[in-house]
Amino acid sequence: MTDHDRILQLRETLHRHNYNYYILNAPTISDREFDELLRELSDLEAVHPEYADPNSPTQRVGSDLSQEFETFVHIRPMLSLSNTYNKEEVAEFYERVREGLANESFEICCELKFDGLSISLHYEDGQLVRAVTRGDGVQGDDVTANVRTIRSIPLQLAKDGSWPRSFEIRGEILMPWESFEALNRERESREEPLFANPRNAASGTLKSKQTAVVAERRLDAYLYYLLGDELPADGHYENMMAAREWGFKVSDAMRKVSSLDELYAFIDYWDTERRNLPVATDGIVLKVNSLRQQRTLGMTAKSPRWAIAYKFQAEQQSTVLREVTFQVGRTGAVTPVANMDPVQLSGTIVRRATLHNADFMASLDLHVGDHVLVEKGGEIIPKIVAVDEAFITSERGSRVEFIEHCPECGAKLIRYEGEAAWYCPNETGCPPQIKGRIEHFVSRRAMNIDTLGPETIDDFYARGLIHNFADLYDLTVDQLSGFNDTRIRSARKTIQAIEDSKQVPFERVLFALGIRFVGETVAKTLARRFHDIDTLSHASLDELLGVNTIGQAIAESVMAWFADMDNVFLVERLRSHGLQLQLSQDTLAAQSDRLAGKTVVISGVFAHHSRDEYKALIEQHGGKNTGSISAKTSFILAGENMGPAKLEKAKKLGVAIVSEDEFLQMIQ
């Protein structure tokens, strides 16, 4: 057998096993055998680049090269569905269909409404050729490279299938609950913002510029709509069953019904049963089954007349409010939290719910002992929607009032103009604020002293070892271990990590200080403009405001921070310990103003540096990077495969296009 034949054979075998595993849930070989075949294929492809195929099973792992999405105009617009929220509205839909079909008999296909993001897949000769997001319904992003990494989407249909030569199939891309929870746990440990729900997570993932990230995140897909000129049947349900035979993942929860009662039974069943599904659903979709009848009914401008969505109610439970407690955050903001009798809600036990702020809390008019309605919508944090009126008696407990003094340190709370939150102003004496600032200081993106978690900081603080972040640098191994031999190893590690942090570059030290409004980006900007902490601390308001992207609030906050003698003293202690309080010689030497006053747009895929690196280079040389092309753009730094829409716009506005190599020359 030639290498080429073996490659083709391996691809076919692997596609089949992939289908058995991800669609049928019935693998016929072990993971190890699968990996061995995949390895063999990948080795052969490496020596035969001439036989490369984007639909090869080896492409499922993705790549970390950065990509841009091209826009694709949908062959048929992607419409949305109109929503109904109760059975009366469903009955009205049923009646409209009956009238529209002049009393002809009809069937309705009932299916789950998956809560992810819709996708349109195009197949030619059994090959996946394109995957496009819904976008605005008329045009979307071509996300083919990302979609290829989703294991339940077939890249190549079985050769002996009866699929049409060319067709489109639409469905929903989802992140299963399990992957979603794992992802958020991981993000939490890295102190990255959490995704609010699986839909946002799936959508963020699918728009990722790196296919390897998508491959890692384990997305799934259900298909629910087949389009094309040569479909197998007149029935939508029958077409979907055929698609399942071709290798697509089609939900088992599809039923044809021919009466309103059967339809209600489907709704009632899934209203509770959906909680046991591995993916999020937010309703039921009802479709007239016959395509001929669908055409008779036609569309309105936005949605078909032959289909409708029925949305589930967000799950609500009634429980008893026991107490409202108040939490003080790192910035001193005070958040009220409701503590309730435990109650089962959408798969988890809920005991606490945020009440956001004083105004929200007051609007609920809560009394201790009230029965309250708790709801979990699309978000993960439960909320109290109202007092359950059914239980209100004349003898209510005392009304819950917002506190006037900090529950942690007793300081009188204050409110800043235009803000909803109350703050504890005792920045230097209030324990959660002190600990919060130290936690921020050691966090990964700041000083990255990763052996110090919140519990350790809590412990050190309780033992009186630290009161501020400068104290960290006075700690000794003996103090941490308490002369206890079993603790010595971890104490040494901690001290070493603190020692290592002295090499962290100035811009991150600046971020670590926790100056209000000075996030990572602002810290970088300030470091580049002022070079060292002394120049920055003496900068006038006008000098600060003169820096691009620094506004009044940031400038005032920086001034106020350095005007506080406690902070000046902290900085002096950091200096005496040898922290980096100025830009390094390397960074300074690498700076220039070759791109001063230039606004640059980055587009396409690059060979020598990543997009982020190019962004940093532009800033290092005094230029500004922006996202979209306008008359103000000085030039476009263009890699391979720049999007056609961008190219066109650049031509129209007469904006120069600079290649990667030309750009590197420019800043040499």
List interacting residues with ligand IVH (CB under 6 A): 79-81, 111, 113-114, 118, 134, 172, 224-225, 285, 304, 307, 309
Pick 48 or 302: Cβ nearer ligand IVH: 302
Pick 165 or 295: Cβ nearer ligand IVH: 295
Residue 554: partners with Cβ closer than 8 Å, 6 or more residues away = 517, 518, 522, 544
CB of 4 to ligand IVH, least distance (A): 40
Whether 349 contacts 343, CB under 8 Å: yes
Distance (Å) of CA 521 to CA 256, 424, 618: 55, 27, 14
Whether 508 contacts 584, CB under 8 Å: no
Distance (Å) of CA 228 to CA 135, 249, 302, 645: 21, 18, 20, 27
Contacts of 190-196 spanning 24+ positions with Cβ under 8 A: 190/444, 191/443, 191/444, 191/445, 194/380, 196/378, 196/379, 196/380
**Strand 635-638 to 599-603 pairing:** parallel
Pick 291 or 526: Cβ nearer ligand IVH: 291
Pick 111 or 388: Cβ nearer ligand IVH: 111
Judged by DSSP in three states, 194 sits in coil
Return the beta strands (E) in 346-491 as ranges: 348-354, 371-376, 383-387, 414-415, 422-423
How far, in Å, CA of 264 to CA of 256, rounded?
12
Pick 237 or 635: Cβ nearer ligand IVH: 237
**Chain Cα centroid distance, residue 601:** 24
Pick 114 or 614: Cβ nearer ligand IVH: 114
Whether 214 contacts 397, CB under 8 Å: no
Whether 415 contacts 422, CB under 8 Å: yes
User: What is the identity of the amino acid at 315?
Assistant: E
Per-residue buried b or exposed e for 163-180, using 16+ beta carbons within 10 Å of the residue's own CB = bbeebbbbbbbbbbeebb
Give yes or no: 113 in active site.
yes
CB of 499 to ligand IVH, least distance (A): 53
Residue 53: partners with Cβ closer than 8 Å, 6 or more residues away = 11, 59
Residue 122: partners with Cβ closer than 8 Å, 6 or more residues away = 128, 129, 130, 131, 132, 166, 167, 168
How far, in Å, CA of 305 to CA of 283, rounded?
18
Pick 115 or 388: Cβ nearer ligand IVH: 115
Judged by DSSP in three states, 55 sits in coil
CB of 309 to ligand IVH, least distance (A): 6
CB of 108 to ligand IVH, least distance (A): 13
Any idea what DSSP says for residue 30?
-
Catalytic residue among 113, 209, 287, 435: 113
Distance (Å) of CA 369 to CA 323, 324, 337, 396: 8, 11, 15, 7
Pick 118 or 149: Cβ nearer ligand IVH: 118
CB of 298 to ligand IVH, least distance (A): 12
How far, in Å, CA of 436 to CA of 442, rounded?
10
Pick 225 or 326: Cβ nearer ligand IVH: 225
CB of 80 to ligand IVH, least distance (A): 4
Which contiguous run of DSSP H or E holds residue 36? helix 31-47
* Total H helices, total E strands in the chain: 25, 22
CB of 229 to ligand IVH, least distance (A): 18
Beta bridge partners of 658: 637
CB of 134 to ligand IVH, least distance (A): 6
CB of 270 to ligand IVH, least distance (A): 12
Pick 112 or 510: Cβ nearer ligand IVH: 112
CB of 296 to ligand IVH, least distance (A): 15
Catalytic residues: 113
